[in-house]
Structure 1
Amino acid sequence: MRVTSLMTTSALALTLALVAPSGVLGAALFNSHQNPLVLQGVNGVSGSSGSSSGLLTSAAGPYTMFQHSAVPGYAMRAKELKLCDKNVKQSAGYFDVNGKHFFFWFFESRHKPSSDPLILWLNGGPGCSSLTGLFMELGPCSVSEGGKDTPINKNSWNSNANIIFLDQPTTVGFSYSDNANEDVSNTADAAQDVYNFLQLFLQANTKFASSPFHVTGESYAGHYIPAIASAILAGNADVGAPDSDEGLLEINLASIAIGNGLTDPEVQYAYYSEYACGNPYGPVFEQSECDTIASKYGTCKSLIGGCYRFQTAFTCVPGAIYCNSAMISPFQNTGLNIYDIRKECDSSNPLCYTILNDIEAYLNRADVQKELGVDVEYKGCNMQVNQRFMLAGDWMRPYVNLIPEIINDGVKVLIYAGDADFICNYMGNRAWTLELDWFGKDGFNEAPELDWVSKTTGRKAGIFRTYGELTYLTVYEAGHMVPYDQPEHSIEFINQWILGGNATFVL
């Protein structure tokens, strides 16, 4: 049986997730070159230097250690690197709390780091590493066959932005934990860890503290990103409050951008049958098969509706089991790439792309791991995390309900989707933006859909609709990983988005 995970979205039926390999990946303890200190809380770091700002720093071998009174119990260790793109300043390390260790890799902008925006990029899964985004999609470099080299990516999103790649939750990528009981199993708890990481990262890198900040990602990040934005806005509301932790920063959240995301399952699952027989590249099934899939949506919708109302594992797991089996499994049996219907699934990797093998080969090289300061076996996706979130009922929960309040706070929202992706297809993503209940719904629905002709290539690159703070964009000739399939177009639209300065998106 070929197991398909949401690489960036694990789209896998729960019944398949349950047969995925078990065993926690990367549950290694610190070794001597990683962290010789015992983290004892904010006042317990020996040899640390403090300031009135509440930031404490210390040296620990190749690392600089950071703690701050505003986020007690949390610590960050970082070291400068010369990997990937050696022409930009970069650092990597871990964010540590309660036996959880989150790996991050940060690259400064190729342009003007001190004034360019700051981006956080997240891949999905749940359980897949954001280093997939780094090396396969939008980072400063790619990987060559066998992981032997790292060619420069001229279309990297750090061309005009500083960018953080974060492996979360724990046991994803190079992240690990000392105690499985501390591992989170839902998006809301994961978002709080990310918020605390951002607090400490910005306290330690004050030149970015006031930069416009954009949370971006794809696939299951359609869950993660609304929750993270909500946590940031809640934290911002607490800054300066009488009972808030002294020294908390107000994070300058400017926008969120979700690519081929799973955000509103109740709406999105309705479009699997329509996409299968009505996508731009030709039908995947005979019409009778699409009709059969469509006939099962009524039960699927009812189950998801129960999850939306009660949001418990008991009410949410059944929808994940039934809907994924009824709506997604038929495609998995075709042998096509579920992330790009134009291609056959590459049998060398369960996630259909040979480059993922190359990324694993590179990141498991001894010299690369030594430079990164890690001793954890790197795997692109951890199916145990996928199973954990599934069994907690997280898959079908309505994180879409957080979007209106995010918009109400003046944060711009970009939803984009490649038109060749099946698993989080553009039809479903377009539909939920039209159904979203927010103050600008009527204006958004009445706004025209406009062709996007790329200034870079001169080609018709997509179609978009925009009104106020909300924009929806279909990207032509792209699958689930838009920056991988359309690198020139992806850097063009993301730069327009983060540098345009206007609430209305114009291409």
Structure 2
Amino acid sequence: MEKFQAFGITLVFFVILFQEGSVTCSSRSSRNEDGSEEWGYVQIRSKAHLFWWLYRSPYRVDNPSKPWPIILWLQGGPGGSGVGFGNFGEIGPLDGNLKPRDFTWLRKADLLFVDNPVGTGYSYVEDSDLYVKTDEEAATDLTTLLAELFNNDVNLQKSPLFIVAESYGGKFAVALALSALKAIQQGTLKVILGGVALGDSWISPEDFVFSWGPLLKDLSRLDDNGLQKANSIAERIKQQLEAGQFADATNSWGDLEDEISTSSNSVDFYNFLQDSDIGSNGLNEMELGLSKEVAIMRYSKYLMSKISTLGSEEDDLEKLLNGVIRKKLKIIPENVTYEVQSWEVFESLVTDFMKPRISEVDELLALGVNVTVYNGQVDLICATKGTEAWLKKLKWEGLESFLEKDRTPIYCGSDKTTKGFFKSHKNLHFYWILGAGHFVPTDEPCVALDMVGAITQSPAILNIQ
């Protein structure tokens, strides 16, 4: 295990050392003493503020033919905090115990976390009417943030930007990539777009809800009766989507999750090999009006094991971000309380939640953008079965050739146990990650690190065995 100082942040969470960054009318930022970390707010609209956190890699390799990449990580939810969960829970330099993470993605790239959309995590609005209501609005805000960060920083402009997303973040990612390309073409954004990676991403809700019943029936978590009930609700969702009744489809999606939970005796939506903690208390909370998605997340044993990283329910990620991390950052407004998942953000996107983004993936592929799709084998909420279904709906001219290709097994280091499979044609790439649930980087960190190195074509020379 690397020593603490290898990440340039020795005792930084306990002895706070930082320098004030530049402050303008639209942004404010700070950095740590050695400049390896920088964070701040960008006012992307009047009274709407996005929080970002940039880590510069201590493993950086300067190679003129292969520039050092930067990864923008987008969390799901919608309303899930990338600054908290993606950073401390999955790929950042430190885990929830503030211990160095062996498989941090800093080994392959610089990392940029954003609490997106506004209202998520440390990001905030001064007026509740300013929450975004569509994926496109979120993408516009993110494009504004990127322009603020990149346009006046020549060093950042040299690094190709890879947008890597998880879960609902995949919808934000494809919308952002198209928005960024438009801004680049117009000369309002100085960024090199390296590619987009969609991890267990909610690209086609219809295909996912139709995958749940058959998948769980094959796994013996549903019987014929449960399958019939699940498929019936899925068919209702399809009809609502076709009729443009998107808010109703979101409500029916919640009904389907309830039915799946009941018929399967509470299968965990983030790892179908486990049970969730949803019982009478969880259902009562949902009946009181709590978002079903938030409730499902809260009662997922698999998910909570990732969030409650400090060993007890009291010492969880929210306590960490509202405590020592808040003290480190110093610029979080007093009236902003950090939450891992924002119910307000989720609710504001209720009419966009079930809309597909397959056409956006098609457009990116047609424009020649590298698109990588990766999926954890035991994920249910964004099951591989559903991902394969929406991928086959692409109109991209290279799809037939992609589907005809054979998969290549992937391993990690000297371990020759099959860790997954890979297929690629032109600018479309697909990874099947065995043994992983919804959160691939935490379940299979070695494979995920190798994968992201391949995605970014990182010049890093340090490997983990």
TM-score, with normalisation over the residues of structure 2?
A: 0.82
Measure how far apart 1:346 and its partner are.
Answer: 5.3
Give per-residue Cα distances to partners, 1:403-431, cap 9 Å, x unaligned.
11111221111111101111111110122
Contact persistence 1:81–1:371 (CA under 8 A): no
| 1:317 aligned partner | 247
CA–CA distance in structure 2, aligned partners of residues 276 and 186 of structure 1: 31
SS of 2:453's equivalent in the other structure is: helix
From 369, 374, 386, the equivalent of 2:326 is 369
Contact persistence 1:255–1:412 (CA under 8 A): yes
Listed as ranges, the matches of 1:356-435 within 5 Å are: 356-357=307-308, 358-365=316-323, 367-373=324-330, 374=332, 375=334, 376-390=336-350, 393-435=351-393
| 2:311 aligned partner | none
- Count of matched residue pairs: 404
CA–CA distance in structure 2, aligned partners of residues 174 and 288 of structure 1: 44
Distance 1:435-1:448 versus aligned 2 partners, 3 A rule: farther
CA–CA distance in structure 1, aligned partners of residues 24 and 72 of structure 2: 20
Distance 1:323-1:474 versus aligned 2 partners, 3 A rule: same
CA–CA distance in structure 2, aligned partners of residues 405 and 122 of structure 1: 20
CA–CA distance in structure 1, aligned partners of residues 397 and 123 of structure 2: 39
| 1:493 aligned partner | 451
Measure how far apart 1:349 and its partner are.
Answer: 4.5
RMSD, aligned α-carbons: 2.2
Give per-residue Cα distances to partners, 1:64-83, cap 9 Å, x unaligned.
2257xxxxxxx22211137x
| 1:330 aligned partner | 259
Listed as ranges, the matches of 1:227-376 within 5 Å are: 227-239=175-187, 248-278=188-218, 282-307=219-244, 315-326=245-256, 328-333=257-262, 334-345=265-276, 349-352=298-301, 353-357=304-308, 358-365=316-323, 367-373=324-330, 374=332, 375=334, 376=336
Measure how far apart 1:88 and its partner are.
Answer: 7.5
CA–CA distance in structure 2, aligned partners of residues 88 and 492 of structure 1: 27
Gaps of 5+ in 2: 1-18, 279-296, 309-315, 460-465
CA–CA distance in structure 2, aligned partners of residues 368 and 344 of structure 1: 32
Report the residue type matching 1:117 in the other structure: P
Give per-residue Cα distances to partners, 1:413-471, cap 9 Å, x unaligned.
11111011111111101221122111112111212233223335322111232211111
Measure how far apart 1:304 and its partner are.
Answer: 1.9
Contact persistence 2:230–2:260 (CA under 8 A): no
CA–CA distance in structure 1, aligned partners of residues 138 and 356 of structure 2: 16
Distance 1:152-1:417 versus aligned 2 partners, 3 A rule: same
Are positions 1:479 and 2:431 aligned together? no
Measure how far apart 1:204 and its partner are.
Answer: 3.7
SS of 1:62's equivalent in the other structure is: strand
Distance 1:349-1:325 versus aligned 2 partners, 3 A rule: closer
Are positions 1:206 and 2:154 aligned together? yes
Are positions 1:463 and 2:421 aligned together? yes
From 210, 213, 216, the equivalent of 2:164 is 216
Give per-residue Cα distances to partners, 1:93-133, cap 9 Å, x unaligned.
11113111111111012222764101100111111110201
CA–CA distance in structure 1, aligned partners of residues 163 and 232 of structure 2: 37
Measure how far apart 1:368 and its partner are.
Answer: 2.8
Measure how far apart 1:249 and its partner are.
Answer: 3.2
SS of 2:81's equivalent in the other structure is: coil
Give per-residue Cα distances to partners, 1:306-351, cap 9 Å, x unaligned.
33xxxxxxx311222223413x222334333211122233579545
Percent of matched pairs sharing the same residue: 23
SS of 1:384's equivalent in the other structure is: helix
Distance 1:170-1:113 versus aligned 2 partners, 3 A rule: farther
Distance 1:113-1:183 versus aligned 2 partners, 3 A rule: farther
Are positions 1:80 and 2:28 aligned together? no
Are positions 1:154 and 2:114 aligned together? no
From 11, 24, 37, the equivalent of 1:90 is 37
Measure how far apart 1:355 and its partner are.
Answer: 4.2
SS of 2:248's equivalent in the other structure is: helix
Give per-residue Cα distances to partners, 1:140-184, cap 9 Å, x unaligned.
11012xxxxx01011011112011000011111011111112221
SS of 1:272's equivalent in the other structure is: helix
